[in-house]
Every structure is written in C-alpha cells, then in structure tokens.
Structure 1
Amino acid sequence: MTTSLPFSRPSTSDIGDIVTAYAGKLMPDVQMQTFSHTHEIFPTRTIKAGAAVSALPYSATRLEDMPIPANGKTYDLFDYVSQNRLVGLLAIKDGQIVHEYHDQGVGPETRWMSMSMAKSVSTTLVGAALLDGHIDSVDDQLVKYMPELGGSGYDGVSIKHLLQMTSGVSWDDTHTTAGSERRIMLDLQVAQKPGEIMKFMASLPRIAEPGQVWNYSTGETHVVGALVKAATGKWLSDYCSETMWSRLGMQADAAWWLEAPDGLEVAGSGICATLHDYARLGLFALSGGVIDGEPVVPAGWFKEATEPRMAGGNPLNYGYMWWPVPDRDGDFSEGAFSARGIFGQYIYINPTRNIVLTVLSCRSKPKFSEAILDNDFFNAVVDALG
C-alpha cells in the first residue's frame, strides 16, 4: 500500500523543485524545507516501526569540543557544524549518547532525507535475503532471479558485481550535469511511470568485463531493489520493516520514495527517517547485524560488505555500497566504515572503538562543498573519545 507519513505541510512555495535541488541551485531556506519534506515530493511506502522504542541513553561523559586537524589547519567542533552546514549530529560511544545537536529547525522528530545512505540499507537487505534463503549466493548471476535482464548489459553480471558496483555497465552519476544517466534516472523518477527506470537500466551498454572496473552508479542500487523484490516477493520497505525496522526499536515509521505509485522503491536514495533512527541503524551495523541475539544477515556479512577489496588488480575502497573509512594514518586497521549520501548525510561506524556517529547536513552542492572533510571529523572524534 502506498502511503504518505503524517507531516506538517509547509506552503508549496517553501518546497523547491527536486531537479533544481539535485543540481545544487536552491537557496538555503528553500533547500532546508525541501530536504526535510522530500517524503512529500514523491509517493512513498511506509517502513513500519515496531510498538516498542529502544532507549538511547545519555552518557555522563559528554563530548563538548576537540581539535579537528584538516587541510593543514586545526578546526574545532563549532567550525565543523557551521562551515559544513550540519542540521543534526549524534555521537554514540559504548551505546550511550555523548553529543547531540540539532540546527535550523530540524529536531528529533524531523524525517530527513537519507540520499545514498539508503544504498547501504538496500544491500543489507540482500544479506537478509541470503540468510532467509531467498537468495542462494552473491556469486549467483542476476538473471537467475531477474530473467528479464537476459541479453542486457547485466547478463553475465553476478550479484556480487552489482553490490560492489563493478558490473561494467556504463553510467555517469554526476547530479549537476543535465543528460547524465543519473539525471535521466531522476527525470524518470519525477515522471512517476512504473518500470521505466528498470527499462532504462536494461538499455545501458556494458563497457567493461564484470569485476574489472568500479563505477559509482545509483542506477545499480535500483537494480538491487528490484533484485530483493524478485527474490523475496516483497516490497523493499516491507522487507526492511520485517527484518530490521520493526525490530530495532525505531522511534517512528520511515518513508521510502517510490518510482511510481505502487512501484518499486528508489533503493539508492529514498529513505526519510529521524536522526535517532539513523543512529539505530548504525548500532545495528555495529552489532554485526544481530537483533536480540538473532542474526539478520549471515555471519561475517558486515565485514565482507564493508572492507576494501580489489577490482581488476586495483585497490577499491568500496564494499557492498558501504564505504571503508581510513584512520588517521591512512590504513583500515580499525575496520571503520560509513553509509553516506550527497549534501552531507553520514552514518559512521567504528567497531574497534564502539562508536557510531550520525551526521545530517544541508550543503550547497551534492558533492565537494564541505569545508572540512567528514572523515577528518570522524577521526577527530575517535581521538577524543579514545
């Protein structure tokens, strides 16, 4: 069932055009309203929460400030929040909140857009489908579950190739370039015609052998969503609620954008949820995908999904649509990783230090508009919390 979540609707003039938003051409006040109400721009499907809310207790130890070495300078927490245009920040150490901040009218109840953090949720649902027996192996060919892709650029591509974006299928993910595949996909989403995005994906040529070249592609995550639907017979939102959202003590239902009414979820960018609930997703990942002692994904899934790998003989700092995060020395010894989205959305997980950081932002451009690299901030928090 396609539903929209309860909300306080701003006037139409306060919400910007979504294509203009992706292009980074909205003034800050309109951009703020748009990013906090994207669940009203598109039809959505509800990701239902459970009846009980899990507490996120506050620690007696508070993170007040710390030096942030970056760009050959030393910044502080106030610089990071203001210059990187944060609207929400939650820091959790050993299961307790050590810092929480909200800005620009965004509060604990605001359902902020995930952008590409949704990719990490979508691939985790592939792990759940593996454990549930709906998918046999990540080494299976996509056409085993989606025969309609036979003869397309995805014929001969494995699930693993799809998850790590090494399918070899052509794609340009530049949000600010009209005519890029990413913008064409957005246009199809705006048009709200069911099945058109998958038809577009199936029309793309393969320009490299699977497994040889990494190419970031939001379109590939849409294929992930279609795969989960084909394998489980369930909408992505419903399967997410069944396996995770209803069991993690989320404070609220979330929404997931749809390609069309009663169509597929936009698996690569479409979750709208609260700051605390994004943090609960981070704690779930920190646990290795276990809820109340019961695994949701196969043993070792999160290690496999979040570690650096090789593609075509070259190092690849990308997992199954999760980003490994190097520590201050540039290595990955602490096993930290993140979900991240354009305009500055992050869930950072450090299993060695038992830290989860959630960042929600409203930056001027989709990419590269941050004044302080977020990884530098994450490492500064790790240093401060010890």
Structure 2
Amino acid sequence: MKLKKFALGALAVLVVGGTAGWLSLDKETRGLLAAMPTNRDLLFWSQPQRDAAFRAMDRISLLAKWHDIPAGSTPSPLPPGPPLKLQLDVDAYMAGQRGAALLVLQDGKLRLERYGLDFDRNGRWTSFSVAKSLTSTLMGAAIRDGFIKSLDDKVSVYIPEMKGSAYDDVSIRQLLTMTSGVKWNEDYADPKSDVAQFNNHKPEEGVDSLVSYMRKLPREVPAGTRWLYSTGETNLVGILINRATKKPLATYLSEKIWVPAGMEQKATWILSKTGQEISGCCIQAAPRDFARFGQFILNGAVVNGKSIVPEGWLADATTSRTTIGQPGRGYGYQWWTYDSGAFTARGIFGQGIFIDPKRKLVIVSNADWAGGARDPGASASREAFYQAVQKAVDDEAAAGPHS
C-alpha cells in the first residue's frame, strides 16, 4: 500500500533544515514530508495524514521540535524463538488494527514480528501515551538516585510556580496515579478539551508553557478521592523530574534506560513550545526498542546487577493503586493494570506495550486505528489478541517441551 500524497504546496511551509537538509533526505522521506498537514492539531488529522506523520514526527520541524535520545553502541540481542501457534489469523488482525508493527517476546525470545502500512523495523513510530510509563520509570530512577526524596512530597516543592494553584497541596504520588482532584478534560474528539488545547496555550512570559496552563486549572474534588485520566498530570511529572535532576528528560532517559538497556537506535522526544519534553506523549522509537523497554521492565529494570528504581517500585507501579471503574482493571504509577498481574502502557490510535510477568511476555503494538484515538472495536480486538497469545503460551506449557 502506498500512502496517498497531498498537494505539494505544503512544501512551501515545511522547514527541514533548509534546501541542503531537504536534498539530503531520501526519496521516501521527502514523499512523507510532502504529505504532512499544516494543522498542528494531530487529533483532527485525516487517516492518510496520520499514516504519514506517525512515522515522521521527528522529521517535521514545522510541527514540532525534539530532543534526541542517544542509544549505545551494543544493542541487546533479541534472539528468535519458535513461531507462536496462535488460533487466529495474524494478517487479518493486523489489517483490522491498521497495524504498523506487532512484536511478541516470550522468555526474551522474539516469537512474532510483523509490519504493515509500509513501515518496517528500521523506522521510528510515535508512542503517544506509552511515553507515560517511561516517564514513570524515570521518576523511580530519580528517587533511587536521590534527586527526589519521597512520593509524598508536594508538587510545589519541586515546581514553585504551582504554589497557590490547585496543585499546591497535591503529592507526587497523586500526580502519578492521576488522583489530584483537579479538573481536566481528556476528550480527544473535542477541539476545546484540555488535551487538545494545552500544547497550543500561550504561556505567561518566563513560565514553562505546561506549567502556565496547568496552574490555572480549578480543583473539582479533594485530592486523593477520584481517579481522572489526565495527560496534563504526566506533563507535570516530567517537569518535576527535569527540575529535580537538572537534566533534560531525553538525556536522563538515555543515561538510565536507552544506553544500559541496549537500545538499537536513537529515539526522539517531542518538545513543548518552551522546550520541555512533553512527558505524557510522543517518544519516537523503533518497535524493537519498545520491545526492549518492555523486557527491561520485565527483568526488574536491572543494570549491572542493580535496579535503577528503588526496591518495591515496580511492584507498586505496575499493580493497581486506584480503581478506574472497570472490573479487573486498575491504574498504577502511569501503568494500566490487570488483576491477573499483567500490566500495559497504552497510547491513542493503537500504541501499546503489554507485559505479562507470569508468562514472561512482552507484546508491542504500533498502529493507526481507523476508528479514531480510542476506537472501542480495535481496543477490544487487541485485548482478544493478548488473550490469544497468553493461551498459546499456556497450551505450549501444558503440552510440554517435546510437543
């Protein structure tokens, strides 16, 4: 399938390092960039625009700026394993998901790897809110490194500009679990929602754009009494880590995870208007490196025999800290949880890293769901796929090693 190309008039407003930078790009990349929309509000792009943009967010300086997340020189291996015997048609599943990448690691071995939408293992696909779970892991690292004293510290201790706002008395723990009680609208279909508007907000002079937006939000209920999904909360978590560590999040991510976990390619992190990584969203990475991150978490986030996070952190982060109104599900520290012990990082339009410690499973999904940001049908289909993989692993175990 070849991507539909849009009017070349868009080239007049694209800025890709000037003429020399444009000519240095390969033909495929130039074709992708020619298809890019001039509208920055990606929630309202057409499907062909999303197909083009989700693999090229960090090649379009009109839409965003970014920081690189350098990788090391020695990628960790992903040895092949025997193909999974799934009781479903994987090609049909990929088509229904409009999948760009689908990988299954089991016991550290790559047992399924498929690509679609003219994408392949060498490209970088955007994460959307999968980035929240990486931000959470950096919070654990910052506590382990002594930059942050306690999850019970108040947000305003690290972000003084929040004093006097609804976040003044909110703890870091309440930010991580999205139980601040502050009003927020995460409706992806509403152009006037907070999630659609925060990154286009004109900040007060000298104030970070995200802080400027978030500190004006009103309190709705007492802190700690209600869960409400809020990308804005994760954005504050990221700013807090940045303030505490005095390092860009991309640098800290490279130091704590990307290099020691053996990522194969550099990744990138989209920035806000005032130059801060948007920590609730938009890390561009190769699918195999998303899989390596999942395996890193499954292995306890261990580097040279020591975990980068405090003892007990991952157990707390990946099990339910608050109810979300769905039977058998919960929310931890920026991870979606299952009562079964599995947990997942999730992003709109079909991004995900599903981790099942019991079965030593990591499942990575990159996609552009046809039904929109949340697409209930595609979401249900993905849950069914997770269950099919779990069943295949269970059937293998029951059959024994000589089956």
* TM-score under structure 2 length normalisation: 0.85
Indicate how the Cα distance of structure 1 residues 346 and 7 shifts in structure 2: closer, same or farther if over 3 A, else same.
Answer: farther
Q: Which amino acid letter does the alignment assign opposite residue 374 of structure 1?
A: R
Residue in structure 2 matched with residue 158 of structure 1 by the alignment: 171
Q: Equivalent of 1:180, from 193, 218, 225? A: 193
Residue in structure 2 matched with residue 36 of structure 1 by the alignment: 55
* Pairing of 1:296-375 with structure 2 (within 5 A): 296-310=308-322, 317-325=330-338, 332-333=339-340, 335-364=341-370, 365-368=372-375, 370-371=377-378, 372-375=380-383
Whether the 8 Å CA contact 1:49–1:249 is kept in 2: the answer is yes
1:77 shift after superposition: 2.5
Which SS does the other structure have where 1:264 is aligned? coil
Query: Which deviates further from its counterpart, 224-233 or 77-86?
Result: 77-86
Residue in structure 2 matched with residue 26 of structure 1 by the alignment: 46
* Pairing of 1:108-147 with structure 2 (within 5 A): 108-147=121-160
Query: Which deviates further from its counterpart, 155-164 or 102-111?
Result: 102-111
Which SS does the other structure have where 1:186 is aligned? helix
> How far apart are the structure 1 equivalents of 2:246 and 2:153?
18
> How far apart are the structure 2 equivalents of 1:80 and 1:349?
19
* TM-score under structure 1 length normalisation: 0.88
> How far apart are the structure 1 equivalents of 2:326 and 2:90?
36
Residue in structure 1 matched with residue 83 of structure 2 by the alignment: 62
> How far apart are the structure 2 equivalents of 1:189 and 1:248?
38
Indicate how the Cα distance of structure 1 residues 98 and 314 shifts in structure 2: closer, same or farther if over 3 A, else same.
Answer: closer
Whether the 8 Å CA contact 2:321–2:330 is kept in 1: the answer is yes
1:299 shift after superposition: 1.4
> How far apart are the structure 1 equivalents of 2:276 and 2:221?
28
1:20 shift after superposition: 4.9
Q: Which amino acid letter does the alignment assign opposite residue 100 of structure 1?
A: E
Whether the 8 Å CA contact 1:91–1:100 is kept in 2: the answer is yes
Alignment RMSD: 2.4
Identity %: 36
Whether the 8 Å CA contact 1:47–1:256 is kept in 2: the answer is yes
**Unaligned stretches of 5+ residues in structure 1:** 68-75, 326-331
Query: Which deviates further from its counterpart, 311-320 or 6-15?
Result: 311-320
> How far apart are the structure 2 equivalents of 1:314 and 1:20?
30
1:382 shift after superposition: 0.7
**Unaligned stretches of 5+ residues in structure 2:** 1-15, 395-403
Q: Which amino acid letter does the alignment assign opposite residue 104 of structure 2?
A: A
Provide the aligned length of Structure 1 versus Structure 2. 363
* CA shift digits 1:315-335 (9 cap, x unpaired): 87111110013xxxxxx23x1
State the structure with more CA Rg.
2
More helix by share: 2
Whether the 8 Å CA contact 1:166–1:311 is kept in 2: the answer is no
Q: Equivalent of 2:72, from 28, 50, 56? A: 50
> How far apart are the structure 2 equivalents of 1:196 and 1:120?
22
Q: Which amino acid letter does the alignment assign opposite residue 150 of structure 1?
A: K
> How far apart are the structure 1 equivalents of 2:325 and 2:110?
41
